[in-house]
Each structure stands twice: as C-alpha cells, then as structure tokens.
Amino acid sequence: MRKNIRLCGSGGQGIMTAGEILGKAASVFHDFKAVQTQSYGPEARGGAARSEVIISDREIGYCGLTETQYMMVMSQSAFDKYNFDLTDDAVVVLDPDLVPYAEYEGAYKVPATRIAEEMGNKIVANIVMLGAFNAAADLVPQEALEEAVKDSVPSRFLDLNLNALREGVKCIRSGE
C-alpha cells in the first residue's frame, strides 16, 4: 500500500501544518511509514504552497510523487498549478468558496473556511479541511489524526482544533 497525497493552497493557510499533522498521524500515532515534503513560493503569504505526504506500509524508497491519488485544495491558483498528475480515480477535497472553478468530476466540496469562521476562528480552516480530507480518503485512523493534532497545536487552542477536525469529518459523513 502506498498513498500519494498532495495538500495545496496559498501561503498562510496552514498547508504545511496540515501535512505535518497527517504525516505524524501515520508514522507516530499509527504503524505506517510516512515522508512529508513541502514547497512554497518566496511570498510570506498568498503564494502557492504545497505539502506532499506519502504513506505506506513498507519502506519508502523514493519520496517524490509520480502521480497524485489524493489531493486537498484550498485555493484556485494551487488547484490550477498542482492538478497536473491526478489519477483518474483521485480523491479530491476542496473548499468551493476558494476553488470555484475546479474541473474535477466527483470532488468533495467542503466549505472549510466558512465553517471555521462560524466556529469563531478562520485560522482553523486547514484543520476542518484535514478532517474532511481524511474522512473522504480514509488515509489514517481518526484516532491517530486526533492524537497528532493534540501533539501539534498549543494547548490553549487544542479544543478549537479538535472541534474543527471533527466538523470536517461531520461534513463528509453528513454528505454536505
């Protein structure tokens, strides 16, 4: 089993953090192997950003993606730039408010930014998306993802982030 995963958006949206949490969930809080790489433009905020994670049940010899089977998208420019190697059956989860022109049949549409704003803090939109992405793609056990969030965020924001993660899961499970 090898899962080739790309998370992408704009700088400042927490794409790198989401990728690190996913990799940690797989390799520290579950028994998978994982590697995570990241790339972003020179802009501090707003430029294209991507985090790539490979999850496997075996040693990972090559840490680059040759094809993308799973993609989480939080900006139109990131979708336009990084959708070049999607497999025909890729699982794509996107925020329709931020990615209005995604031409990918069957994409899960999760209004993560809107959900985060309704929760009172737009900054957790990446965690809402991560919860939805994991629920849609079945990447790692939910418990492992929650443990990785607990291990990765400051304690004063823990409840907010766990609630955001669960809101994302709920969005997929309820079919919204």
Structure tokens at 1: 């089993």
How far is residue 95's CA from residue 107's CA, in Å, rounded to a whole number? 10
What does the pLDDT read at residue 46?
67
What does the pLDDT read at residue 176?
54
Domain of 51 in residue numbering reads as 2-173
Number of domains in the chain: 1
Q: What is the CATH classification number for the domain harbouring 41?
A: 3.40.920.10
How far is residue 141's CA from residue 26's CA, in Å, rounded to a whole number? 8
How far is residue 51's CA from residue 65's CA, in Å, rounded to a whole number? 11
Supply the pTM of this predicted model: 0.92
How far is residue 138's CA from residue 81's CA, in Å, rounded to a whole number? 25
Q: Which residues of the chain have pLDDT under 70?
A: 41-46, 175-176
Tell me the pLDDT tens digit for each residue of 40-54: 766 556 678 899 999
- Measured in degrees and rounded to the nearest 5, phi and psi for residue 82 equal -115, 10
